[in-house]
């Protein structure tokens, strides 16, 4: 008989009993629907202990990497400690190590968390202004390359958190953040696969981290990054990305401007249109999308129609909070 620990309480799991059945039998309300490993409503995360591969069938590689599993199809062979996907959103103190303007609207916020802080490039954190106000920002840093974690924060008109960050935050201040969350990151194991990354505005942040992470671990397949903005003023990290393209022949960067005439070295048009014109067939490619929700939703559909598997499409839309 194995034991399942959930929220500091332990329960005996009978032979051939699933995690879902064990917890619900003991009064733990686990969301579920199909109970056949299809709907993924009963998704949970193993904090310790191994779960059987059968309980991870159909999950994206990033979720498997983070030890997520389907509780309805998980019959544990050893003791495990489990949690709901949203668990672990407590606060971690961090010191502001630096503030660097990237363009007229976007600030790079550099943070040093207190104590160990594990993350994957491309994940996001919750950034707290006070007890009741927090916003989510993607990580642009790579843990093995950057001394600090880095966020790209766009100033939203009347934004309670972004305006405060831009106008009131100073180096040396202490803030609270959450642990790293989300499944939009690079997973090694298929180094020849093509990677297509499309972003708008500060949606470049996670894509910049993912690109550098993939190149760092030796990804050999084509990596194509398209970053779009209405005007030239909205683009940033242009020289850094062009230097990466010079250093790595398999990486190409295309900055796009959708309004007005684009100068030499820039593409004119909507970033999604430019990307799909360059790469019209996406069968076998892995896709990362981040930025304006309308672009991300359209890109999900169009990259799928171009041949990409839904399993290989990772999306992180930026949805500003209401002022």
Domains of the chain, residue spans: 2-83, 92-177, 195-317
Asked whether this chain's domains 2-83 and 92-177 adopt the same fold, the reply is no
Cβ-based neighbour number of residue 146 at 10 Å: 15
Give the C-alpha distances (Å, rounded to integers) separating 256 from 69, 226, 286.
39, 7, 21
**Looking at domain 195-317, does it have CATH number 3.40.50.80?**
yes
The torsion defined by the Cα of 162, 163, 166 and 172, in degrees rounded to 10, comes to: -80
Give every CB contact of residue 211 below 8 A, 6+ residues apart in sequence. Answer: 195, 197, 223, 225, 241, 244, 251
Instruction: Please report the pLDDT score of residue 26 as a whole number.
Output: 94
Instruction: Please report the pLDDT score of residue 31 as a whole number.
Output: 85
Topology of domain 92-177 in CATH is Elongation Factor Tu (Ef-tu); domain 3 (2.40.30)
Residue 198 in contact with residue 272, Cβ under 8 Å? yes
Could you tell me the strand order of the sheet in which 223-229 lies? 267-268, 251-257, 223-229, 195-200, 286-291, 313-317
Q: Which residue has the tokens 């949970």?
A: 44
Residue 251 in contact with residue 277, Cβ under 8 Å? no
Q: What is the pLDDT along the chain (323 residues), one digit of tens a residue?
A: 899 999 999 999 999 999 999 999 999 999 887 788 877 889 999 999 999 999 999 888 988 998 999 999 999 999 999 999 866 557 899 999 999 999 999 999 999 999 889 899 999 998 999 877 888 899 999 999 999 999 999 999 889 999 999 999 999 999 999 888 888 999 999 999 999 999 999 999 999 999 999 999 999 999 999 999 999 999 999 999 999 999 999 999 999 999 988 899 999 999 999 999 999 999 999 999 999 999 999 999 999 999 999 999 998 766 655 44
Which CATH number fits the domain 2-83, given the four candidates 3.40.1390.10, 3.10.20.30, 3.40.50.300, 3.30.1490.20?
3.10.20.30
Instruction: Please report the pLDDT score of residue 87 as a whole number.
Output: 61
Cα separation, 156 vs 187, in Å, equals 32
Backbone region of residue 131 per phi and psi (left: phi > 0; alpha: psi in -120 to 50; beta: other values): alpha
Burial of 316 (0-12, 13-18, 19+ CB in 10 A): buried
Instruction: Please report the pLDDT score of residue 321 as a whole number.
Output: 55
């Amino acid at each position: 008989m194995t034991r399942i620990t959930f929220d500091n309480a332990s329960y005996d799991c009978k032979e051939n009993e699933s995690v879902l059945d064990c917890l619900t039998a003991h009064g733990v309300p686990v969301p579920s629907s199909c109970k056949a490993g299809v709907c993924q409503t009963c998704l949970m995360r193993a904090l310790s202990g191994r779960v059987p591969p059968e309980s991870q069938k159909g999950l994206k590689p990033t979720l498997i990497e983070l030890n997520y599993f389907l509780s309805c199809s998980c019959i544990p062979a050893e003791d495990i400690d489990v949690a709901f996907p949203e668990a672990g959103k407590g606060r971690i103190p961090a010191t502001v190590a630096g503030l660097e303007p990237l363009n007229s609207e976007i600030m790079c916020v550099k943070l040093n968390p207190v104590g160990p802080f594990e993350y994957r490039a491309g994940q996001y954190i919750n950034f707290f202004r006070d007890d009741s106000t927090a916003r989510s920002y993607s990580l642009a840093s790579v843990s093995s390359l950057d001394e600090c974690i880095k966020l790209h924060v766009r100033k939203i008109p009347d934004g309670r958190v972004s305006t405060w960050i831009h106008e009131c935050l100073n180096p040396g201040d202490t803030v609270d953040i959450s642990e790293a969350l989300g499944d939009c990151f690079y997973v090694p194991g298929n180094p020849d696969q093509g990677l297509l990354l499309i972003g708008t505005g500060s949606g470049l942040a996670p894509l910049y981290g993912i690109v550098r992470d993939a190149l760092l671990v030796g990804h050999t397949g084509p990596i194509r990054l398209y970053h779009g903005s209405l005007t030239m003023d909205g683009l940033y990290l242009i020289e850094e990305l062009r230097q990466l393209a010079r250093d790595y022949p398999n990486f190409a960067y295309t900055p796009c401007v959708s309004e007005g005439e684009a100068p030499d070295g820039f593409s004119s048009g909507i970033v999604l249109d430019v990307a799909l014109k360059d790469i019209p067939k996406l069968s076998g490619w892995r896709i990362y999308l981040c930025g304006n929700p309308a672009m991300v939703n359209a890109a999900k559909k169009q990259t799928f129609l171009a041949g990409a598997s839904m399993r290989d499409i990772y999306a992180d839309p930026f949805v500003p909070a209401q002022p």
